[in-house]
């Protein structure tokens, strides 16, 4: 692989400093959750939205707020409920009797970081209100388009996998808009003790000043775009994506029969963006096959559709992803 360096030393050092400050700030507010920290920072510098799945109480909201506070960004938390309306998120028009005109009231979605808490509790109609905002970075109210913040606009949505009553599963069209999906688990016993110690000392609830600005993140996003990706890596990404669509045709791959639907080209784009971010976070200006493998679960787990047989046979989507990736020759 012929490695080209498109990033000068000054920009590289700048990006490493920003990533370290984001990481340190996260660690000061959240105990453990290394996977969530990686996914949040990587998706933000890759300029993509993130879907986080876990049972309640595992610091999803705390983590999202920590990243926003670190860069002094405008943060909005939207608690999704079945009675939440699209206008409650994007805004609406209200008639002003004094002026006898309709006035546009913008919703909380107009922020740098938008936390959609328990997104699957909102109705399909409300969920669809976010499609335009996430894809086009604008919303239409009364026939007029209103744009999201020009610098940073990241949606962090959370969902609870164990609750079924009063929930509306996200459609494939909705989940595909998220760059990645992260699944987080319970902390270890030692991490649990650390959480209790921090609560007792008051360090978790303490408000610390930001260590960066929105412009810092915006600049790192530009630097990430310059990370070199060889054609061999692009072919590797393409081969993985195509393999997901023909999983039942992969030789000696028993799990292929569980795949109902493969992934769209958005998965290829997500692989490209996330592998670039992963490379830069590990101190490199070029992408390796290991970077692609590192982000395979985050990129693919919400895009590959499994059939009912997978549920019956206790086959996880991560097991299928590993099989698909292992079937593709590493360049």
- 223-275 pLDDT, tens digit per residue, is 999 999 999 999 999 999 999 999 888 888 888 899 998 999 999 999 999 99
Strand residues in the chain grouped as ranges (E): 50-53, 75-79, 91-96, 101-106, 113-117, 138-141, 144-147, 154-159, 180-183, 259-261, 305-306
The predicted model scores a pTM of: 0.88
- Evaluate whether 70 touches 145 at the Cβ level (below 8 Å): no
**pLDDT at site 266:** 92
Share of the chain above pLDDT 70, in %: 97
Residue 287 has pLDDT above 80, yes or no: yes
CA distances from 161 to 121, 169, 301 (A): 11, 10, 14
User: What residue has token string 């744009």?
Assistant: 147
Angle at 33 between CA 31 and CA 38, to 5 degrees: 125
Q: How many Å apart are CA 170 and CA 176, to the nearest integer?
A: 10
The candidate with the shortest Cα–Cα distance to 162, out of 191, 121, 114, 128, is: 121
What pLDDT, on the 0 to 100 scale, is given for residue 324?
Answer: 93
Report whether pLDDT(58) > 80: no
For residue 28, which of 204, 218, 156, 196 has the smallest C-alpha distance? Answer: 204
Any residues with CB less than 8 A from the CB of 327 and at least 6 apart, and which? 243, 250, 251, 253
Number of other CB atoms surrounding residue 56 within 10 Å: 11
What percent of the chain shows pLDDT beyond 90? 42
- Rounded to 5 degrees, φ, ψ at 306 are -100, 155
Please give the Cα distance from 6 to 3 (Å, whole number).
10
């Amino acid at each position: 692989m012929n490695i080209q360096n498109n990033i000068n030393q000054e920009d590289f050092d700048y990006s490493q400093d920003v990533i370290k400050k984001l990481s340190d700030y996260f660690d000061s507010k959240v105990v453990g959750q290394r996977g969530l920290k990686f996914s949040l920072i990587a998706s933000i510098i890759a300029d993509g939205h993130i879907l986080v799945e876990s049972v309640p109480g595992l610091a999803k909201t705390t983590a999202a707020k920590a990243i926003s506070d670190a860069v002094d960004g405008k943060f909005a938390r939207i608690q999704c409920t079945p009675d939440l309306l699209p206008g409650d998120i994007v805004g609406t028009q209200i008639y002003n009797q004094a002026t006898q005109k309709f006035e546009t009231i913008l919703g909380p979605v107009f922020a740098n970081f938008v936390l959609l808490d328990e997104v699957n509790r909102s109705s399909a109609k409300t969920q669809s209100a976010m499609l335009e905002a996430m894809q086009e970075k604008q919303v239409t109210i009364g026939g007029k388009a209103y744009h999201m913040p020009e610098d940073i606009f990241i949606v962090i949505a959370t969902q609870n996998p164990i609750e079924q009553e009063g929930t509306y599963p996200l459609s494939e069209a909705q989940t595909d808009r998220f760059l990645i999906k992260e699944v987080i688990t319970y902390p270890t016993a030692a991490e649990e003790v650390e959480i209790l110690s921090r609560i007792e000392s008051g360090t978790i609830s303490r408000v610390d000043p930001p260590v960066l600005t929105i412009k810092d993140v915006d600049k790192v996003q530009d630097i990430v775009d310059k990370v070199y990706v060889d054609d061999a890596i692009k072919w590797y990404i393409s081969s993985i994506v195509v393999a997901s669509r023909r999983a039942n045709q992969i030789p000696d791959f028993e799990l292929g029969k569980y795949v109902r639907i493969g992934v769209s080209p958005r998965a290829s784009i997500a692989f490209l963006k996330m592998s670039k971010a992963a490379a830069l976070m590990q101190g490199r200006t070029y992408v390796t096959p290991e970077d692609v493998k590192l982000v395979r679960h985050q990129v693919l787990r919400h895009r590959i559709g499994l059939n009912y047989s997978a549920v019956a046979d206790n086959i996880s989507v991560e097991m299928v992803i590993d099989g698909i990736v292992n079937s593709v020759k590493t360049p």
